[in-house]
Amino acid sequence: MESIIQFTNVNKAFNDFAIKNLTFEIKKGFVTGFVGANGTGKSTAIKLLMNLLQPDSGEVKVFGLNYKDHEKVIKQKIGFVYDDHVFYEHLTLQEMKNLIQPVYTQWDDELFYKYVEQFQLPLKKKKLKTFSKGMMMKASLAIALSHHAELIIMDEPTAGLDPVFRREFLNLLHEIVQDGEKTIFFSTHITSDLDRIADYIVFLHNGELIFMHEFYTIAEKYVLVKGGLDLLDPDTEKEFIAIRKTKMGFEGLSSNKGRVMQLFGDLALYETATLEDIMFYTKKGGEKGVSIS
């Protein structure tokens, strides 16, 4: 399978935060959700991916090419979907299109107008500053699709969208990848978005990769365990990413489902861990060590 994005040992440090040894690969034709709590470095990684920031060390390749020698070729093939920052607010969508069109060698006017109609976007009657957040996302996506972008990168595209718009937007993304030619990489902390469309999950915490898995395998690896406090001792506690203890018992997250089920047998209860559970416990585990109360 062709690799579209490759991060290899990427490091980037700010004063009080660092991306550490980030290594992962994104394959062609899939939707990958990039998840992690607030401030874990998703936007920073996306900036590195867009060459808006450069790594202190390590390498970022897109379409197998590096930015140093191939920035123009890479950027022609990427659609970067923002909410409001790229557009000139005083322009209409038509005026914006006229500005953007010459930049892209593969611009397809017919396709642009098709999406404008499909997304029900006003072309000439409204200035972009009067667009809602959902309309801006759609306008940005229409532009990305109209230059035949092979890779669509989005930073928190669904944050701030209402549930109806969000579902519509996700359905659209799902349609886009159906031909197997396009690849979508988007960050989110709304984990229910991922249930709908993600094939892969890249999970970041404190600037480090916790995992990259096919979405469906997460339920096979991770489990929420509930049981009495008598089941816990220093050895069994090691099996957990984090544990929440109450007077009534404990609830803990493990990334080794088979092993803990063997260990506790029918003395404990097991529940499928959601991405939200994984985010919550990974954050708590990182903050306070294994045990949280």
Q: Which is nearer to ligand ATP, 44 or 254 (CB)?
A: 44
Q: Cβ contacts of residue 213 below 8 Å, gap of 6+?
A: 200, 201, 203, 221
Helix (H) or strand (E) holding 117: helix 109-118
**Segment contacting ligand ATP (CB under 6 A): 39-47, 144-152, 247-255, 265-273?**
39-47
Binds ligand ATP by CB under 6 A, chosen from 6, 40, 206, 255: 40
Kindly state the smallest distance separating residue 72's Cβ from ligand ATP, in Å. 25
Kindly state the smallest distance separating residue 161's Cβ from ligand ATP, in Å. 15
Q: Cβ contacts of residue 154 below 8 Å, gap of 6+?
A: 80, 81, 82, 184, 185, 186, 187
Q: Which is nearer to ligand ATP, 39 or 289 (CB)?
A: 39
Q: What DSSP character marks residue 5?
A: E
Kindly state the smallest distance separating residue 18's Cβ from ligand ATP, in Å. 8
Binds ligand ATP by CB under 6 A, chosen from 1, 2, 38, 266: 38
Q: Which is nearer to ligand ATP, 182 or 189 (CB)?
A: 189
Q: Cβ contacts of residue 277 below 8 Å, gap of 6+?
A: 222, 224, 253
Q: How far is CA 32 from each of CA 80, 183, 193, 228, rounded to the nearest angstrom?
A: 15, 8, 11, 37
Residues 4-33 close enough to bind ligand ATP by CB under 6 A: 14-15, 17
- 261-265 own/partner pairs: CB under 8 Å, 24+ apart: 261/223, 263/236, 263/239, 264/225, 264/227, 264/231, 264/236
Instruction: Tell me how far apart the alpha carbons of residues 119 and 123 are, in angstroms, rounded to a whole number.
Output: 11
**Segment contacting ligand ATP (CB under 6 A): 40-48, 125-133, 219-227, 241-249?**
40-48
Q: Is 280 in the site for ligand ATP (CB under 6 A)?
A: no
Instruction: Tell me how far apart the alpha carbons of residues 186 and 151 are, in angstroms, rounded to a whole number.
Output: 10
Q: Is 55 in the site for ligand ATP (CB under 6 A)?
A: no
Q: Is 189 in the site for ligand ATP (CB under 6 A)?
A: yes
Which token pair is 102?
Answer: 């010459």
Binds ligand ATP by CB under 6 A, chosen from 12, 42, 166, 284: 42
Q: Is 44 in the site for ligand ATP (CB under 6 A)?
A: yes
Kindly state the smallest distance separating residue 274's Cβ from ligand ATP, in Å. 18
Q: Cβ contacts of residue 186 below 8 Å, gap of 6+?
A: 31, 32, 33, 34, 81, 152, 153, 154, 155, 156, 157, 173
Q: Is 178 in the site for ligand ATP (CB under 6 A)?
A: no
Binds ligand ATP by CB under 6 A, chosen from 5, 22, 36, 222: 36
Q: Which residues bind ligand ATP (CB under 6 A)?
A: 14-15, 17, 36, 38-44, 189
